[in-house]
Amino acid sequence: MSLIDTRREQMFPTLTPAQVASARRFASGPEKHFEPGDQLYAIGERDSSSWLILNGSTDIVRRDGLDHEVDLASLGPGQFSGEVNQLAGRGSIASGHAGPGGCTALPFDAAHLRALMIGSAEVGEIVMRAFILRRVGLIEEGGAGTVIVGHAGGLAVLRLQGFLTRSGYPNLVIDSAEDEQGRELIERLGVTDSELPLVVCPSGAMLRNPTEAELAVCIGLMPELDPAKVYDVAIVGAGPAGLAAAVYAASEGLSTIVLDGKVMGGQAGASARIENYLGFPTGISGQALTGRAFNQAIKFGAEVAIPLQVDHLSCDGGIKAIAVTGAAPIKSRTVVIASGARYRRPAMAGLEAHEGTSVSYWASPIEARLCAGETVALVGGGNSAGQAVVYLADKVRKLDLIVRRPLADTMSKYLIERISSLDNVECHVGAEVTALDSDEGGALSALHWRKLASGETGICGVSHLFLFIGADPNAAWAADCVETDDKGFVTTGAGSLPLETSLPGVFAIGDVRAGSTKRVAAAVGEGASVVSQIHQVLAHTPLEK
């Protein structure tokens, strides 16, 4: 049974007359009448309003696969159209048309919808829950959103699928070698093998082997940035620390923008399950946790630009300028460095040939499907590694865990106990991987290991390798302006503010900060704490233009 079947009342709630009256105060315009079949909003339309139906009905339609649409729901009086994209003015995933008898509805653009969320707590909670559940339902149903046509399991397809999945966007992969419909589309358009994958955006626009940035523009993920705007705070990094800072800053009235060159969530977003985060006794996936934080930031009016690569930070006084690839510099009165760390790449022969296909630095459902029933190996002894082992063990035939030190030195006790109870996990302590082998088709077939103490060597047959060996600070873009320690982590606390760097008005939080505790809860705490310090700086900073 699908989410739509089990939670339909929460996905498509009906407001009471009193709640409708409360919501009316926040409408962005007068009520409007639509004749039967009239379009309220289109798939892919940016800045489309959510509509509160007053009379009649509205039919909601989503794209299903390549060339047809299916009915999703019919909304009646007291029901809202839209999902989380409407909160940020992003491209709509579904479309709405007036039903057989027409309809009368009230519009709520993104700004007024956010005002409703905050100004009417009761109605706002109902609508926010519905929007989030609708997005989850679209992902669960499959077929909606973006269609990727290409070699299933290939590097380019996995790259785009991973970006969409971790961004919380529904997507469907069609194997160009196996699916007749996909093959016919490629032949009809004359798409060459080098131009695959072909991507069909929700609006129907098509891209040939796009970058993540090009895909983000096509699906309406990237906001339209005003080059003349000066923000109160610009946050570089959309991991737990950056998103927490965005939620608190935006909720306290600061104009806020978040920049990230990859996807939301950072390394935490790739965690299969976080079980020691306060308030989630049964655990929560990193993607679910950071996805909720992302929606909170949007709810309070923060702008989020992903993927937008940050190149460098200006060191001049006053207004800070952040240079980004392909766009005008972002100007802000304060800056928060929350750019985390880059996955560390070990020195092993053959690594590069398999990165992105059979070598992964995270363990998401995409990778789990690729290696289901196979023998895999995982390198790393931290908590993220432990979470990945527990998640993967249920899906693979066997997992070889390779670590340099005893798990007790680096991993939480509850994870060690969980791993020790898994029959298909074998732990190799005091070993490292030295090289990877490929089969005749170029796929990963085996890894070479070496015992650190004895020098003993061996070979393990594997189809996939997961690397969780830590990360290096991702602060090179700001290193010319702020002081770092000998490992490249940004130092803070030289002045009166504990999270401020050597450059006044620039702060560092989370994994990128020297001396930080590398835990999700600590990153979130620093994200909350930094906002009070930003207020102190802004209170004594003149409004420069």
Task: Identify which has the larger pLDDT, 257 or 363.
Answer: 257
Same domain, 525 and 453: no
Note whether residue 544 is domain-resident.
no
Q: What is the pLDDT of residues 379-405, one digit of tens each?
A: 999 998 999 999 999 999 999 999 999
Same domain, 366 and 337: no
Domain count, the chain: 4
Q: What is the pLDDT of residues 495-537, one digit of tens each?
A: 889 999 999 999 999 999 999 988 899 999 999 999 999 999 9
Mean pLDDT of 266-272: 81
Burial class of residue 528 in the structure, from the number of CB atoms within 10 Å of its CB (0-12 exposed, 13-18 middle, 19+ buried): middle
pLDDT at 95 over 70: yes
Q: Tell me, what's the pLDDT at 543?
A: 62
What confidence tier does 5 reach under pLDDT thresholds 50, 70, 90?
Answer: low
Same domain, 16 and 61: yes
With b meaning 16 or more CB within 10 Å and e meaning fewer, what string describes 106-131? bbbbbebbbbbbeebeebbebbbebb
- Tell me the percentage of the chain whose pLDDT exceeds 90: 72
| Alpha-carbon gap, residue 202 to 157, rounded angstroms | 17
Same domain, 214 and 197: yes
Q: Tell me, what's the pLDDT at 223?
A: 86
Residue 51: which CATH number? 2.60.120.10
Can you tell me whether residue 438 is helix, strand or coil?
strand
Note whether residue 41 is domain-resident.
yes
Q: Which of 51-55, 96-100, 349-353 has the lowest mean pLDDT?
A: 349-353
- Tell me the percentage of the chain whose pLDDT exceeds 70: 97
Same domain, 450 and 484: no
Mean pLDDT of 32-37: 97
Note whether residue 225 is domain-resident.
no
Same domain, 160 and 240: no
Same domain, 95 and 196: no
Examine the fold and report which residue of 440, 469, 498 is the final residue of a domain before the chain moves on: 469
Note whether residue 545 is domain-resident.
no
Residue 462: which CATH number? 3.50.50.60
Note whether residue 493 is domain-resident.
yes
Same domain, 517 and 535: yes
Note whether residue 288 is domain-resident.
yes
Q: What is the pLDDT of residues 412-424, one digit of tens each?
A: 999 999 999 999 9
Examine the fold and report which residue of 101, 126, 141 is the final residue of a domain before the chain moves on: 141
Q: Tell me, what's the pLDDT at 518?
A: 82
Torsional class of 539: left (φ above 0), alpha (ψ -120 to 50), beta (otherwise): alpha
pLDDT at 445 over 90: yes
Structural domain range at position 152: 146-218
Q: Are 184 and 323 in contact (CB under 8 A)?
A: no
| Alpha-carbon gap, residue 387 to 139, rounded angstroms | 24
Examine the fold and report which residue of 191, 218, 245 is the final residue of a domain before the chain moves on: 218
Note whether residue 224 is domain-resident.
no
Residue 160: which CATH number? 3.40.30.10
Note whether residue 264 is domain-resident.
yes
Same domain, 129 and 15: yes
Same domain, 164 and 311: no
Same domain, 157 and 259: no
Q: Tell me, what's the pLDDT at 270?
A: 76
DSSP 193: G
Same domain, 134 and 14: yes
